[in-house]
Amino acid sequence: MPLVIGITGSIASGKSTACKYLVGGGAAYCDADKLVHRMYDPGKPAFARIIEAFGPEIVGKDGYIDRKLLGAKVFGKPKAMLTLTTAIGDIQAEVRKVIDSWRRNLQDNEIALLEAVNFIEAGYGRFSDFTWLFAVNDDIAIERLKFRNDLSTQAAKQRLASQRSWIDREPAADLVTHNNGSNDAFIKSVDKEMSKIHSQWLKGTLSVSRYHAWWKIQSSEPV
């Protein structure tokens, strides 16, 4: 079977940069966020449910749900976010389909990456072989967001505040890579770590993912 790796981390941590580099080296890839977006395209069952929940004004001129307008209705609002995720449907099943397809169709020496901000919280790690968490210092993340997304300092801080800290996610991760330096240094680190992980996988010496023990504890805790 291929090596399936979950890639996660807060905004501006470099997870997408790492994925882009690894895909360039031949890794298969799925962006879970984009996969979810396709679940509420026009004609899909979730399209009508989301409009019913949030109003027809969230539909753009192109006939698709405008994610910016939708985001404004759910950003920082847990109840509204729960309404949205319920309306979208079984996201986990869609993710599982992608991973199952990789298991069937990729070769033993191949690598597949599933990128998701909420990879850990959503339970996706139960289906993967390795969880790779990327982290960045808050002050650096804020500056990156200001430059990359053209945000004010206040807006960047608000965006970052909506993300979970890497420290909270670390117990479920097999590897934490910090991205506080230059892009070149970061890519070199990613390349080195990926070579190590893949080598261990091929030799059969890669440890069982920590995620499984973490998930067992989480799922057994009372709600």
Q: Give the residue-averaged pLDDT of 75-84.
A: 88
Q: Note whether 175 and 133 are within 8 A (CB).
A: yes
Return d(Cα 176, Cα 179) in angstroms, integer: 10
> In the chain, how many domains are there?
2
pTM value surpassing 0.85? yes
pLDDT at 223 over 70: no
pLDDT, tens digit, 9 for 90 and up, residues 37-49: 999 999 999 999 9
pLDDT reading at 220 higher than 80 = no
Count CA within 13 A, CB hemisphere, residue 32. Answer: 27
Rg (CA), the chain: 18
Nearest to 40 by CA among 58, 26, 23: 58
Give residue-wise pLDDT tens across range 142-192: 999 999 888 899 988 888 887 889 999 999 999 999 999 999 999 999 999
Domain that holds residue 70: 38-88
Task: Note whether 115 and 164 are same-domain residues.
Answer: yes
Q: Which two tokens stand for residue 212?
A: 């499984």
How is residue 5 written in tokens? Answer: 């790796």
pLDDT of residue 221: 56
In a domain, 68, yes or no: yes
